[in-house]
Amino acid sequence: MEKGDMRAKKLARKSGALIIFLVDASGSMALNRMNAAKGAALSLLENAYQSRDMVSIIPFRGDEAEVLLPPSRSIAMARNRLDTMPCGGGSPLAHGLSLAARVGIQQLSSGDVGRVMVVCLTDGRANISIKKSTGDPDYVGPDAIKPTNDELEGEVNEMAGVLFKNGMSLLVIDTENKVRVVFPKSRHAVCRLSRVIT
């Protein structure tokens, strides 16, 4: 056997997608809205399972967002986390988008996924500043600065811009009026996200 007789085949690693479910779990998401949001998420989870995509769940409620399920291929675990997710409090939408961007950037950098889509299920009523979510002392406590609607929109726009700048897609599912889908194509298309879907 000679060296020319040896053949090697490089296996290309198939990069799937990561779908980040950014779920509004605030007090304004009344029971019927939350059930509609969970129903839409479960339907998308089934599609993700069939495509062998990874999923992550990030609820936002109270003063901040949290990663309830890090990127995983376990649809059963995702379903369980959605079913047991607590609700109530404020709506820190900008912090949710920021955390989704961070998770997406980490996964894209690792090479484990080739694309990221953020599916945001919300009624669009952002009312908590990202500055409060990240512990800015001026936005915490009894004398805290109260952000205006324009400031809250600006924060949402900025965080949506981070998603687009890093090549991620954003799909917004409006739970305010039944379930309506908004698919912004750019940062400017999200410009009125915190009001346009209500």
**pLDDT per residue as tens digits for the range 113-152:** 999 999 998 887 789 999 999 999 999 999 999 999 999 9
pLDDT of residue 163: 94
Q: Output 77 or 102, whichever has higher pLDDT.
A: 102
**Helices 93-110 and 149-165, axial angle in degrees (round to 10):** 10
Q: What is the pLDDT of residue 124?
A: 78
Which run of H or of E encompasses 83?
helix 75-83
Q: Which amino acid is at 116?
A: V
Cβ neighbours of 70 (radius 10 Å):
13
Domains of the chain: 15-92+102-196 (3.40.50.410)
* The residue to which tokens 């500055």 are assigned: 131
Q: How far apart are CA 196 and CA 184, in angstroms?
A: 11
pTM, full prediction: 0.82
Alpha carbon distances (Å) from 1 to 7, 8, 10, 89, 105:
12, 15, 21, 72, 47
pLDDT on residue 41: 77
β-pair partners for 117: 19, 169
